[in-house]
Amino acid sequence: MDVLGSINDVVLGAGDKLWTWAVLPILIVLGLYFTLRSGVVQLRWLPEMFRTLTDKTPTREDGTPQSVSAFQAFTISAASRVGVGNIAGVGTAIAIGGPGAIFWMWTMAFIGGASSFVESTLGQLFKVKDASGFRGGPAYYMLHGLKSKWMGTLFAGILIVCFPFAFSSLQANTIQATLSSSLGDAPGWLPVAVGLLLAALTALVVFGGVRRIASVTQAVVPAMALIYLLLGLVIVFLNLEQLPAVFASIYTQAFGLNEVVGATFGMILMTGIKRGMFSNEAGLGSAPNAGASAAVTHPVKQGLVQTLGVYFDTFLVCSITAFIILVSGPDLANATRGIGLTQEAIVGTLGPWSNVLLSVIIFLLAFSSILGNYYYGESNIEFISGSPRVLLGYRVLAVLAIFVGSIASADLIWNTADGIMGLMALVNLIAIALLSGLVFRLMRDYTRQRRAGRDPVFTRDLMPDVSGITCWEDEATVTGPVRVPPAR
């Protein structure tokens, strides 16, 4: 145990340095640059985000959808983004940095919205066709946009280790741990039983491909958000008199004024930014894998939809957790980190029965994340190898990781995955910085068509100087054939 503890400390220290001195500064600088260069697209085009979310999906000649819809791609990415980190991560941020950390979490979500727009638009521009419809992501725009296969392969390998294996196994571990806590004196065989059940449920979904994943997340994500939103609103309503003080503490303590947890301004700032980025993943290179799967008529549309996904994660789900904790008046000077702080706030307000409801919510959060993480891995496995045997082997290992995660110790895997995700982010940030000029050209084209009263349609002849665009052949293909109804 001492050896594992020492390894864990080394991994944690290395990961923290990577994020503090490399990833976060680049994320902030690029996010600000994209914000200014795009004319604050993440705010200015907010109404357009909601309009494109419900866009009609282009069809094939037989009338079937070309791929998953814009909304389904949104739910796949939201499924991965919105996980136990929205409960445990926010609790940890408040325990370390106090209420002020939430201000910086909100700030970084707004800045990161521009980075999310850039990376997801690129994911759409350089997507490729497959048997299920479309796939793409950073590995694909590194290959087709930067002509760098080694860079794409490096990114794909890092993502596969990080998301479908490490993070998904940890989501499974959280489901098992929460269920055991809710039952009190849980039997020793419970982790194995939970692991087998989760592995079986995961296999039923993922062996059906992206369309089955999309259909499940389309149902689970809105239900999950609604249940958690209602729970948060009830707790806030029961503590309504505390709400003005909560907002005041978030804003005043953001700059270290009247700090209750003994954190310095630097710690408050870094805690809020880091926890927020781990949660909404803006600029890290994960969401474009989902965004590229959508059938839309212009790449900018998924850039807008995935920006909305950042807001959904942070301004809605993370904020609900923050308000649940803060209106309950916790003792932050002696607060436990992680999910325990949120659990104490819920049970303290609603009573012991709410432990069961929290377990259901955590199951939905974690299981939907498992599905989203799996899809990210599948898209990148197909980038590395198109062999059906390789894909089958990946599916088996991904399901096995769910079972192992349910019975394993989590700390070392969490810290290792955090460090690996930092490397993944660095590779992606370099790529989107180099390719961002294409996104701003696409924005100008989108704006021109909207001003002309058109629903924007992109075809690759609008960028004749850009090679590597394999889809977007012509308008008829992009929008889907016009189907004339048979004569009566």
DSSP states of 109-127: HHHHHHHHHHHHHHHHHT-
Q: What is the pTM of this model?
A: 0.91
**Scanning the structure block, which residue is given the tokens 């909207």?**
450
The alpha helices in 351-410, defined as continuous H runs, are 354-384, 388-407
Token digits of residue 91:
């609790």
Task: Give the torsion sign (CA, 424, 429, 430, 434).
Answer: positive
What distance in Å separates the CA atoms of residue 338 and residue 8, rounded to the nearest whole number? Answer: 18
Q: For 77, what's the count of Cα atoms within 13 Å in the CB-facing half-sphere?
A: 36
170, 401 Cβ separation under 8 angstroms:
no
What does each C-alpha distance from 99 to 87, 254, 264, 316, 338 come to in angstroms? 15, 7, 13, 16, 15
What distance in Å separates the CA atoms of residue 261 and residue 283, rounded to the nearest whole number? Answer: 30
Q: For 258, what's the count of Cα atoms within 13 Å in the CB-facing half-sphere?
A: 9
The CA-based diameter of the chain, rounded to the nearest angstrom, is 80
398, 165 Cβ separation under 8 angstroms:
yes
Residues 6 or more apart whose Cβ sits within 8 Å of residue 161: 420
Secondary structure percentages of the chain, helix, strand, coil, to 5 = 75, 0, 20
234, 354 Cβ separation under 8 angstroms:
no
What pLDDT tens digit does each residue of the chain (488 aa) get?
Answer: 465 555 555 555 666 677 777 888 899 999 999 999 999 999 999 999 999 999 999 988 888 899 999 999 999 898 888 777 788 778 888 888 889 899 999 999 999 999 999 999 999 999 999 888 999 999 999 999 999 999 999 999 999 998 888 888 888 887 887 777 767 666 777 778 888 888 899 999 988 887 888 888 888 888 888 888 899 999 999 999 999 999 999 998 888 766 666 667 777 777 888 777 778 889 999 999 999 999 999 999 999 999 999 999 999 989 999 999 999 887 776 666 667 788 888 988 998 888 888 888 888 888 888 888 999 999 999 999 989 999 999 999 999 989 888 876 666 666 677 778 888 999 999 999 999 999 999 999 999 999 999 999 999 999 999 999 999 999 988 998 754 344 44
**Scanning the structure block, which residue is given the tokens 């008829």?**
476
Phi, psi of 63 (to 5 degrees): 90, -5
